[in-house]
Chain A
Amino acid sequence: MVVGDFDPDESEQTHSNKPAPPSTLKPDVDKIVNDPFVSIHKSTEPEANNPPKAVRSASPSDSAKLMRERSIRTNRRLRFIECLRKDDINIAELRKLAWAGTPSTLRPVVWPLLLGYLPLAAPARSATLTRKREEYRSLVELAFKKERQGLDQQIWHQIEIDVPRTRPGTRLWMQEHTQRSLERILYVWAIRHPASGYVQGINDLVTPFFQVFLSAYIDSDPEQFDAALLPENVRDAVEADSFWCLSRLLDGIQDNYIATQPGIQRSVKRMAELVARIDAPLYAHLESESVEFMQFAFRWMNCLLMREISVQNTIRMWDTYLAEGTDAFSQFHLYVCSAFLVKWSEKLRKMDFQGIIMFLQSPPTQDWDDHEIEMLLSEAFVLNSIWHNAQSHFGAK
């Protein structure tokens, strides 16, 4: 029997002794709060201040490739900016661009546009933002006006337990300010949606929004940001925008979180049917080992794969999901999950019940970057176009 030792590398990852990297706030945050498009109207030159981590130390032979990649990125960015600068944004064009990935500095405006939170027509934007943030503030006031005793105890209790264990070990999420924001977002959402209330895992879904919106105001890594540095109006804006965008995302998948979670049951069932068609040997092997899809895919649906891949991976994935429309979080997602499973087919077919479950519980995605996610999305796209309109095939055993 093997008794696991403590892996020194692993513990260092979560509790690093290294000093936290500096947190830098942008100089013009007050302008950005009122008009998130400020940077887009301003910038003509490609992003210079946000070097991707891959550029760190390239050997000379890599530099040509890097140059090429950079110029592709620059071009894409310019096309985005051109699209976003129009007074009335063409949503179809924006969706098309965003499907292939949104530059990180543009996400804070592209995501809300795709979700319909930010109006496509430029003149309406500032007023809408002000109104929605004001509305959120009154929702919070209403929800918390009677102090603790006035809260729905069951919902509050679960949120209180889960907030400190959201993204454990990540600086941003271990801070008081961020945790209070998360608590408010989750609680207000839960009491406005009594059919589901708060369900564990929804906390995970807030984090990509929060980090993306925060990134609009800072020049350093959101995950390492010292939230105490945020001016109150900025924090309120990030929180309110996260709340509304989360709400829109969840509108499309509320079935996942109501009693007996029928949305998940349906997705898992359809995923099993799909895998039976696209990878019959794997399906047969899982069946012969008595592995049920529910045993591993439940979590994939419930947390949208966020427990299996990094937040960075998730953010890239959501560029595409949001470009597809909020339906993607239930429909397209099941094709992504199927592609994700089939990806390991060869390995899985050599494993027994225990091996399969253990493997799928923590698949080896630690080193994944955008490239792997984009492969997965393309495979899902192909599956989707082949099978989505062929649903009569499903279940016709």
Chain B
Amino acid sequence: MAEGSNYDYLFKVVLIGDSGVGKSNLLSRFTRNEFNLDSKSTIGVEFATRTINVDGKTVKAQIWDTAGQERYRAITSAYYRGAVGALLVYDIAKHATYANVTRWLKELRDHADANIVIMLVGNKSDLKHLRAVPTEEAKTFATENELSFIETSALDASNVESAFQTILTDIYRIVSSKTLEQSSDPIKAPTSDTIPVAIDSAAPASGSKCC
């Protein structure tokens, strides 16, 4: 919270995936360097931010961590709109959470912007002896579906920084090249060097859907 409000880019990213795969811990590891073995379940959506440096630019990530349970889908999917990135998380030790990745991709196709950047994240890589999803299999799946891929452990912190850094860099590259290409686009025409990406459009949109 103590981060300054100066940034060059503001990116909205969602964390999605089955219940219990470690989404909230990935977020707390990234934003507060904290891990909690028995953290409470996420109800609806929770929010955190962190600012990082990409190619010399200050990029602020607004991350919405969503509840994994199906019943919350109506609520959580409202947050997909306007998101420029999604971390789709599964648990490498629970095959069912990986099998559900296809369903989550469909969720994103149905509710998120078409050009959202998606990263497949196999979390709990510390549970080596319990591995149920081979790295190569997930990697192949990711390639076929044009997703980036990484394995992380929120518990021992490995690759967490890298996962977020990678997706935010990917988004940054796309957005900055687009800004150049589409500088004639009246909606996206940059008026200053600060480009808040889709944040403002996201909020009112879900409100009107509420009944």
Beta-carbon contact of A294 and B207 below 8 Å: yes
Beta-carbon contact of B39 and A168 below 8 Å: yes
Q: Which residues of B contact A197 (CB under 8 A)?
A: 71
How far is the CB of B99 from the nearest CB of chain A, in Å?
13
Mark the stretch among A69-77, A230-238, A253-261 that contacts chain B: A253-261
Cβ 8 A contact of A292, one of B33, B38, B207: B207
Beta-carbon contact of B210 and A200 below 8 Å: no
Beta-carbon contact of B38 and A1 below 8 Å: no
Q: Which residues of A contact B183 (CB under 8 A)?
A: none
How far is the CB of A305 from the nearest CB of chain B, in Å?
11
Q: Is B114 an interface residue (CB 8 A)?
A: no
CB nearest to A266 among chain B residues: B211
Cβ 8 A contact of A290, one of B34, B67, B204: B204
Q: Is B123 an interface residue (CB 8 A)?
A: no
Q: Is A20 an interface residue (CB 8 A)?
A: no
Q: Chain B 32-73 against A: per-residue CB contact (8 Å), 1 yes, 0 no?
A: 111011111111111111111000000000100001011110
How far is the CB of B196 from the nearest CB of chain A, in Å?
11
Q: Is B136 an interface residue (CB 8 A)?
A: no
Complex formed: what's the CA distance from A199 to B200 in Å?
A: 31
Beta-carbon contact of B203 and A292 below 8 Å: yes
Q: Is B144 an interface residue (CB 8 A)?
A: no
Q: Which residues of A contact B206 (CB under 8 A)?
A: 292, 294
Instruction: Given the known inter-chain contacts A199-B69, A200-B19, A361-B46, please indicate yes or no for A298 contacting B75, CB distance below 8 A.
Output: yes
Q: Is B187 an interface residue (CB 8 A)?
A: no
Beta-carbon contact of A200 and B47 below 8 Å: no
- Count how many pairs of residues, one from A and one from B, have CB atoms less than 8 Å apart in the complex: 103
Q: Which residues of B contact A158 (CB under 8 A)?
A: 19, 69
Mark the stretch among B1-9, B104-112, B148-156 that contacts chain A: B1-9
Q: Which residues of B contact A302 (CB under 8 A)?
A: 43-44
Beta-carbon contact of A265 and B41 below 8 Å: no
CB nearest to A257 among chain B residues: B71
Beta-carbon contact of A168 and B43 below 8 Å: no
How far is the CB of B6 from the nearest CB of chain A, in Å?
12
Most buried by A among B43, B47, B199: B43
Interface residues of A in 297-347 (CB under 8 A from B): 298-299, 302-303, 307
Mark the stretch among A55-63, A92-100, A159-167 that contacts chain B: A159-167
Q: Is B85 an interface residue (CB 8 A)?
A: no
Cβ 8 A contact of A298, one of B39, B43, B48, B51: B43
CB nearest to B96 among chain A residues: A157
Q: Chain A 240-262 against B: per-residue CB contact (8 Å), 1 yes, 0 no?
A: 00000000000000000101110
Q: Is B17 an interface residue (CB 8 A)?
A: no
Beta-carbon contact of B33 and A3 below 8 Å: yes
Q: Is B74 an interface residue (CB 8 A)?
A: yes
Cβ 8 A contact of A361, one of B41, B47, B62, B67: B47
Q: Which residues of B contact A169 (CB under 8 A)?
A: 38
CB nearest to B74 among chain A residues: A260
Cβ 8 A contact of B74, one of A174, A261, A361: A261
How far is the CB of A313 from the nearest CB of chain B, in Å?
16
Q: Which B residues are within 8 Å of any A CB, using their own CB?
A: 1-3, 5, 19-20, 31-34, 36-52, 62, 67, 69-72, 74-75, 78, 199-200, 203-204, 206-207, 210-211
Beyond the given pairs A261-B72, A292-B203, 8 more chain A to chain B contacts, judged by CB atoms under 8 angstroms and listed by A's residue number, are A4-B31, A196-B71, A199-B69, A199-B71, A203-B41, A260-B74, A269-B211, A354-B1
